[in-house]
Structure 1
């Protein structure tokens, strides 16, 4: 059994162009502009507009650093539809828009500018909650940051944690990728999830014994121990 499977695996040939496309897709999605450009030059892999990578990552890094005004200004220049309540294509994402304006409010509270935070909530957050009732509760939770001087002792203090910035940046990054007609995540993770799903399907529903990839970091297919024992000649 092991010899047969090994022969089958060795017979499978992946076109180098396919492997290169997966590598480039990952580099572009993760924002590695210089590495992607170098890979394109060295491999000859076709690539789209790589300039968009630097712009996207600049905006993401601004959000993660709490520089929301700079992030919103850059976003307005590059993808204004993402900040429009009623964009021309009708594709407004109020959840994303709320998350961005909420993060701006959070940064104002963090800086101790309560007056600016209140003005921002009135003109930017409240209209979104009126347009989408599901945002009323998140708005109320956000406003609780004003329960203490710097928000640290409020029931919503978790919004001040750096992880909140990362969540907002991740959501915005995905939206920009969609606006650039790119996938929200690299193809490789999706393929690995499909591999895991297929392995479970074959093993549990069809009872097939085959080399499985259990450690995705190592990515070496191995027969289950029981199958290897059955395939080995008995000694006696």
Structure 2
């Protein structure tokens, strides 16, 4: 009777050990499978979604640590918008205005923000430069530091929409210190059209001077 009980206990222990081993093997297989999926996904991301920085003269335009944040992309300053994950389509059709941050803003000053496309309808033939996409004045420095853009909007934000087969367009952001007591406004002619905007004359008219900071990103039509 005792020997029979011992054998039964041994069989039970063996079965329990086998069950534990099977569970451990299953866990190891699951972990290995997930690691393989993660590795493949990581390789795919690296191959298809490269955030390329601008170079040459395009890179020289960027100065002063002005930051432009879009959802999922982060700060797009001085970069090409990648085609992966439909980013070019989403920046043109879905996402609203970006968050603008200027950490070096003077708390006691006001600023003017201008977003414009100098490549309308194309960089090779910019006969409609500059295309006005966004103009905001009376922006407080303390708000710029916090990325909480407030001010008086002269031109509502217009998404980047480069025409098909027109190549890359530069979307430029210029931030100016606003002169005290300067009444800045668009003329009736300027309000009538977004294209062929004389940006330089606007800057001279209101004595804005050189930008305190500037940046840009490049993108093209999603189907190109």
Do the two structures share a fold, i.e. TM-score over 0.5?
Answer: no
Structure with a larger share of its residues in helix: 1
Structure with bigger RCO (C-alpha 8 Å, 6+ apart): 2
TM-score by length of 1: 0.27
Considering fraction of residues, name the structure with more strand: 2
TM-score (ref. length: structure 2) = 0.28
